[in-house]
Amino acid sequence: MGKIFKKPEALSDSPTHYCPGCTHGVIHRLIAEVIDELGIRGRTVGVSPVGCAVLAYNYFTFDFQEAAHGRAPAMATGIKRVRPDLIVFTYQGDGDLASIGMGEIIHAANRGEKFTTIFVNNAVYGMTGGQMAPTTMPNQHTSTSPFGRNVDDIGMPIKMAELLAALQTPGYIVRQTVIKPKYIVKAKKAIKQAFVYQLEKRCFSFVEIVSTCPTNWGMTPGEAVKWTEDVLLSYYQLGEYKNPEKVSGDKHAN
């Protein structure tokens, strides 16, 4: 009898540096499973961000480039344009993508670059120690919003999937989460679809994954899951926001 559950080939043996209760590990595994299933490990190039996932290349077993803060979509553009036969994805957090890298992601999406972005949104800067991000919730306490995010002063959290879906260029834009098994199945399906669209040279593909950061939220892993489900998912609604099969950019029920 063969193994029925094993570590994906695209994932390395290195223990990760991620905190207990963090969802990066689950997301890494889903990407690795998809890469294995599609048989593309030998022609995949990942682009790691500045943030908690900067060392992602230690956890995968294929080529990687390491970007400056926010610049991963520009690097992926350079790679994919000169080597369209490579499968390219960026892996970015919300401080990286929605703040300093806003220009790069919007223009890459609008050009319809044929790469995939995995956007891990946990509503806070992780690696630098829990500062306020553009995605931080109203009244959420962080190390730079000690009295809670004041939306009169700093504005409302940015909904990246909706923002990118508003562009007129066709694309695949979806938001999922991985906080419970029922969501993980859908998240994997979305990641796989994103890579398939890239393989078919169809469009830019973007999978936002609402994630946890128990350490910087000051919660236990269990509390973090509950807060994600109760608070984040009511604002960052899951679903498919854009699909290249459909012309309209309207949200489709999940």
Partner 1 sequence: MGKKILMKGNEAIGEAAVRAGCLNYFAYPITPQSEVAEYLSRRIPEAGGVFLQAESEVAVSYMIFGAAGAGARVFTTSSSPGISLMSEGLSYITAAQCPAVFVNIMRGGPGLGGILPSQGDYFQATKGGGHGDYRLLVMAPASVQEAVEMVMIAFPLAEKYRNPVMILGDGLIGQMMEPVEFPDHLRTDPTDKNDWATTGMEFRKSDKPNIVKSLFLDPNALNENNLILKAKYDRMKAEDIHYESYNMEADYKVLIVSYGTMSRVCRTAVDNLKVNGFEVGLLRPKTLFPFPEKKIRDAAAKDSCQVVISIELSMGQMVEDVERCVQGRRPVKWYGECGGNIPTPETVMDVVTSLVGK
- CA-CA distance, 254 to 246, in Å (whole number)? 15
- Which three-class secondary structure string do you get for 80-100? HHHCCCCEEEEEEEHHHHHHH
Which residue in 4, 5, 20, 85 binds partner 1 (CB under 8 A)? 85
Which residue in 76, 191, 203, 225 binds partner 1 (CB under 8 A)? 76
Least distance to partner 1 from the beta carbon of 192, Å?
20
Which residue in 54, 109, 124, 174 binds partner 1 (CB under 8 A)? 54
Q: Find the angle CA(157)-CA(163)-CA(165) to the nearest 5 degrees.
A: 145
30 is an interface residue for partner 1 by CB under 8 A: no
- CA-CA distance, 213 to 169, in Å (whole number)? 33
Give the residue with the Cβ less far from partner 1, 16 or 65.
Answer: 65
Least distance to partner 1 from the beta carbon of 54, Å?
6
149 is an interface residue for partner 1 by CB under 8 A: no
Residue 133 CB burial class (10 angstroms; 0-12, 13-18, ≥19): buried
5 — phi, psi (to 5°)?
A: -145, 125
13 is an interface residue for partner 1 by CB under 8 A: no
Give the residue with the Cβ less far from partner 1, 60 or 195.
Answer: 60
Which residue in 7, 83, 226, 246 binds partner 1 (CB under 8 A)? 83
Residue 224 token pair: 């973090």
Q: Which range touches partner 1 (CB under 8 A), out of 78-86, 163-171, 173-181, 215-223?
A: 78-86
252 is an interface residue for partner 1 by CB under 8 A: no
Which residue in 57, 91, 119, 204 binds partner 1 (CB under 8 A)? 57
Which residue in 7, 14, 37, 103 binds partner 1 (CB under 8 A)? 103
Listed in sequence order, the residues at least 6 apart from 160 whose beta carbon sits closer than 8 Å to its beta carbon are 94, 97, 98, 105, 119, 121, 135, 206, 208
Listed in sequence order, the residues at least 6 apart from 215 whose beta carbon sits closer than 8 Å to its beta carbon are 19, 21, 22, 126, 130
164 is an interface residue for partner 1 by CB under 8 A: no
Residues that bind partner 1 (CB under 8 A): 41-45, 47, 54-55, 57, 60-68, 71, 74-79, 81-83, 85-86, 103-104, 107
